[in-house]
Structure 1
Amino acid sequence: MGAEVGGGASVGGLVRLAEQGVLDFVTVAGGEEGGGGRRSDPVGLLARAAAETSWIGLVPTVTVTRAEPFHVQAAVATLDRVSRGRAGWSVAVSASESGAALFGREPAPSADALWREAGEVVDVSTRLWDSWEEDTGPGDSSTGRFVDPDKVHHVDFAGEFLSVKGSASVPRPPQGWPVTVVDVSVCGPDGLAVAARYADVVIVRAFSPGEAGVMRADLRRRAATAGRDPDSLRILAALTVDLAGEPHLDGPPLAETDAVRMRQDGAAGYTGGPVGLAQVLTQWHAADVVDGFHLTPLSPERDLERLVNGTATLLQHRCLQRNFYAGATLRDHLGLARPVSRYARSGAGRRS
């Protein structure tokens, strides 16, 4: 289970609270206005939270449109290193006309083109993460060499949008590849191809277990067509939760059609108390249509506390939510294998 914690001054406390609830990871969305009219930096916010936590996964939203892949992968790799293997990144694109004009793109590219470009950014990032072999450094002081040059590999990538040559400037991240997340509940169908080919976690919007099951089957089929093992994909249902209801009393049984409703912004939403939310999540779990949930509290300070101390506790009692972290990395939490480098002496990597 993951949760969005916003991008305000209270991020650190909310991340610590989510860790108390033994959630898999937290996300911080990009593009929010911070103090002095400056936009918040999700990677920086979660890098600071890494020093205040020990277990929970940290997944910032990273907008890759018009970004340099070398800088993007370095920022995510650094977050993985400072968190000791707990980082991911939620890949996003920007269709802003003003942003496109700044880079000489007028008008802005289509959503399909933006996501094809995003796929290349993910592809190049994984190649750069692989460019240092596992035992490349530290260097040998007797020879004065920081690294063995035979173990640093040169990336030569030429795609539809990007041309990248060179290697990463830092060793391979602790997880090999930080966890890649694509939120198709936000980007819609344009991001499906990238999600199926490159994502470890896909967040989907569905209003019933049946709809979620259809989307999961479609993504798994797409992943298989792309040459991936569908079992390597984790599908999470997105749900905006308003837990303003009575926190301690259970309501009447919820019909499946009444449990999740469309909000005015088009998101799937639940309104009620933490006990009722636990009932909804239990129903969806019993249907075996998703691998988990990504919850966005409507009021983070209020709703995350009720989620952790109410809903999560009930799910733990039902053996549907872990009571402790059995592993140290985000890949451990999600049951994802650590990718083998494409340059490993034993063979190629997990994906080409």
Structure 2
Amino acid sequence: MPQISPLLLGLELAGTGAHPASWRRPDSRAEELFGAHYWVDALRAAEDAGLDLAFLPDSFALQSEGAIGRLDAVAVAARAAALTRRIGLIPQATVTHTEPFHLSKAIASLDFATHGRAGWEIAVSEGDAKLFGRKPEQDDRSRWAEADEAVEVVTRLWDSWEDDAEIRDRSTGRFIDREKLHYIDFTGTHFAVKGPSITPRPPQGQPLVTVRAADPHSIRLAVHRADLIRITAPSLAAAAAARSELRAAVAAAGRDPHRVRVLLDVDIHLAATADAAAADVAQLEDWIATDAPRTVFHIGTAAELRAVLREVETSCAADGVVLRPLALAAALPYLPALTPTLRDRLGLPRPVNRYAHA
């Protein structure tokens, strides 16, 4: 059966693009990567095109090739908050070497700054323990168990202020009702946090939590904690199967699968013609050869990609897609052609012109 909800459209902004050689293109604006204008321009272009979500990847590790270095994703989202109006901003923030109290405050603050458009993509950090010197390197099981505790702490802290805790009673001088602030009193294997937060409950109550379901540990976290689950799949049929399995697991965990969205990563490169797009990618590969894509990909025109997106929706392969441009600057001008019209969203065909010749 077709999906009831319209297909969510997201864009991942990974530096100059997902391809490590994308910075060598003359249109890459690589020299602006560490300035605010680059990121604000890209996010506003995505918003103006009608996309729903913007994902900002982050990591403690330096890239091994391509453009080296990155800004803090939460800080980038905060910079763009006042200059965007509708698009959801979902920075990636690593839990492995970060205190959940700090993460809860940062994402809650972003939700206030965006008037309720913030999310948080959870990530763990492998091989970076020596950057911090606070604890030894952990194995996968420990990292993801810690991530699970971190999400529990963060979401409890978001709820540690009741919605009407701020009373601002000038006559009595009471700014808050302390009876409506709550100690979370969490004690786990990795964290012991008393609370409450120092930031009021976010506008959304709970900003959206995103998890990439890539292995048994991250899948378990996604099933139990995520509002948005990102997947990779080699085909739309494989994506549909993964979506069905995840929805069943979410239901088995006691959650409503209709409240969880599964988003398929789609690697893209867009150009005016399919031949031009293929030539662009051939140039990127000539500069730096990469492995074959691990997920659905499209190299061609925006109109052709629009057809792929319709197929994703009609085949129930996913509840949405996250477009991962190989070269970000090359994709931005074509994004408006991807967003559906109101008729598309309602499932109504475009009427045939009554005066046109057959």
Q: Determine the structure 1 residue equivalent to 2:229.
A: 202
Structure 2 unaligned runs (5+)? 1-8, 16-32, 277-289, 348-358
Q: Distance in 2 between matches of 1:99 and 1:195?
A: 28
1:120 aligns with 2:149: yes
User: What letter matches 2:13 in structure 1?
Assistant: V
Q: Determine the structure 2 residue equivalent to 1:319.
A: 344
How far 1:263 moved relative to its partner?
5.2
Structure with the greater relative contact order (CA < 8 A, sep ≥ 6): 1 or 2?
2
Q: Determine the structure 2 residue equivalent to 1:75.
A: 106
User: What letter matches 1:127 in structure 2?
Assistant: R
The change in CA–CA distance for 1:321 and 1:204 in structure 2 (over 3 A counts) is farther
2:166 is paired with a residue whose SS is coil
Q: Determine the structure 2 residue equivalent to 1:4.
A: 12
Query: After the TM superposition, which residues 100-111 of structure 1 pair with which residues of structure 2 at under 5 Å, given as runs?
Result: 102-105=133-136, 108-111=137-140
Q: Distance in 2 between matches of 1:266 and 1:102?
A: 34
How far 1:268 moved relative to its partner?
3.4
Q: Determine the structure 1 residue equivalent to 2:355.
A: none
Q: Determine the structure 1 residue equivalent to 2:58.
A: 30
1:188 paired residue among 196, 211, 215: 215
User: What letter matches 2:172 in structure 1?
Assistant: T
2:210 is paired with a residue whose SS is strand
Query: After the TM superposition, which residues 135-214 of structure 1 pair with which residues of structure 2 at under 5 Å, given as runs?
Result: 135-184=164-213, 187-214=214-241
Q: Determine the structure 2 residue equivalent to 1:221.
A: 248
1:266 aligns with 2:294: yes
User: What letter matches 1:82 in structure 2?
Assistant: A
4+ residue segments displaced more than 4 Å: none
TM-score normalised over the length of structure 2:
0.78
1:90 aligns with 2:121: yes
TM-score normalised over the length of structure 1:
0.80
How far 1:146 moved relative to its partner?
2.3
1:277 aligns with 2:305: yes
Q: Distance in 2 between matches of 1:59 and 1:321?
A: 27
Q: Distance in 2 between matches of 1:46 and 1:149?
A: 31
Q: Distance in 1 between matches of 2:139 and 2:131?
A: 11
Instruction: Check whether the contact 1:247–1:275 (CA below 8 A) recurs between aligned residues.
Output: no
Q: Determine the structure 2 residue equivalent to 1:242.
A: 269
The change in CA–CA distance for 1:240 and 1:321 in structure 2 (over 3 A counts) is farther
Q: Determine the structure 2 residue equivalent to 1:256.
A: none
User: What letter matches 2:241 in structure 1?
Assistant: V
Instruction: Check whether the contact 2:212–2:219 (CA below 8 A) recurs between aligned residues.
Output: no
The change in CA–CA distance for 1:80 and 1:317 in structure 2 (over 3 A counts) is closer
1:161 is paired with a residue whose SS is coil
1:96-145 deviation per Cα after TM superposition (whole angstroms, max 9, x unaligned): 2444771231xx21112211111111111111111111111043222222
How many residues are matched?
303
1:293 aligns with 2:321: yes
The change in CA–CA distance for 1:119 and 1:302 in structure 2 (over 3 A counts) is same
The change in CA–CA distance for 1:33 and 1:53 in structure 2 (over 3 A counts) is farther
1:66 aligns with 2:97: yes
User: What letter matches 1:102 in structure 2?
Assistant: G
The change in CA–CA distance for 1:300 and 1:92 in structure 2 (over 3 A counts) is same
Query: More displaced, 213-222 or 138-147?
Result: 138-147
1:65-94 deviation per Cα after TM superposition (whole angstroms, max 9, x unaligned): 121111000000000001000000110000
Q: Determine the structure 2 residue equivalent to 1:325.
A: none
The change in CA–CA distance for 1:39 and 1:311 in structure 2 (over 3 A counts) is closer
How far 1:18 moved relative to its partner?
0.8
How far 1:296 moved relative to its partner?
0.8
Q: Distance in 2 between matches of 1:265 and 1:64?
A: 27
Identity of aligned residues (%): 36
User: What letter matches 1:130 in structure 2?
Assistant: D
1:27-57 deviation per Cα after TM superposition (whole angstroms, max 9, x unaligned): 11113869xx864111111111111111111
